[in-house]
Amino acid sequence: MQNPVLDLIIVPSEPPQNRHPKWERQLPPKLVIASAEDSLTSLKLKVELETTNTGKVKSVNSFIDSRATGEFIDHHYAKSNQLQSQKLSEPILVYNVDRTLNQTSSITEVVDLILRYWNHSERTLFAVTGLGKQKLILGHSWLWKHNPEIDWVTGEVKMSRCPPHCCSRCRDKA
């Protein structure tokens, strides 16, 4: 008896897709940034930033803006303070609140920092971009994650409802 001939069909494999690191896959495909200060949707908050590589601590005024969709750091501030950035595999588009493309056009790098406010402490990825007069913006995603108690009249912010991964002392001393 003769062996049957097997026809082998070779299917070309698809080109490998870019596999992004886990931290990068958690970033949104686009971000919205506020274009100007608006006292009705924003306030200033003095925070401390600590570098994750050197432990260097810097005090800075952040701008809390509920219209911004992410956490941002000004590229001039990051560069002048020698903050180590990480390049993204693919840029993230940035839009203004009026839905026009921001003049910076895209985010190509992020800075990994420890953000502290009173007894609150968390590790945060900040998108590096041009912020004009601002050095740091904490946007809606930060507000949603922490759900702080904010008195918009006095500017007082209490970190009394932080998620478990934040410093446990935050909830105890708020």
Q: What is the DSSP letter of 18?
A: P
Question: Looking at residue 20, what is its pLDDT?
Answer: 66
Question: Looking at residue 40, what is its pLDDT?
Answer: 59
Mean pLDDT (the chain, rounded): 78
Is residue 41 within 8 Å of 67, Cβ to Cβ?
A: yes
Token pair, residue 54, equals: 């050197």
Q: Tell me the domains of the chain and their CATH numbers.
A: 42-173 (2.40.70.10)
* pLDDT surpasses 70 at 74: yes
Q: Tell me the pLDDT tens digit for each residue of 102-161.
A: 777 688 999 999 999 887 889 999 999 888 888 999 988 888 888 888 888 888 888 887
* pLDDT surpasses 60 at 7: no
The identity of residue 90, as a single letter, is E
Question: Looking at residue 86, what is its pLDDT?
Answer: 93
| Interval 55-80 mean pLDDT | 91
pLDDT band at 29 (very low <50, low <70, confident <90, very high): low
On the 0-12 / 13-18 / 19+ scale of CB atoms within 10 A, 89 is: exposed
Cα distances from 13 to residues 10, 16, 49, in angstroms, run: 9, 8, 46
pLDDT band at 28 (very low <50, low <70, confident <90, very high): low
Rounded CA gap, 76 and 110, in Å? 13
Question: Looking at residue 12, what is its pLDDT?
Answer: 46
What percent of the chain has a predicted confidence (pLDDT) above 90?
A: 28
* pLDDT surpasses 50 at 9: no
pTM score, whole prediction: 0.73
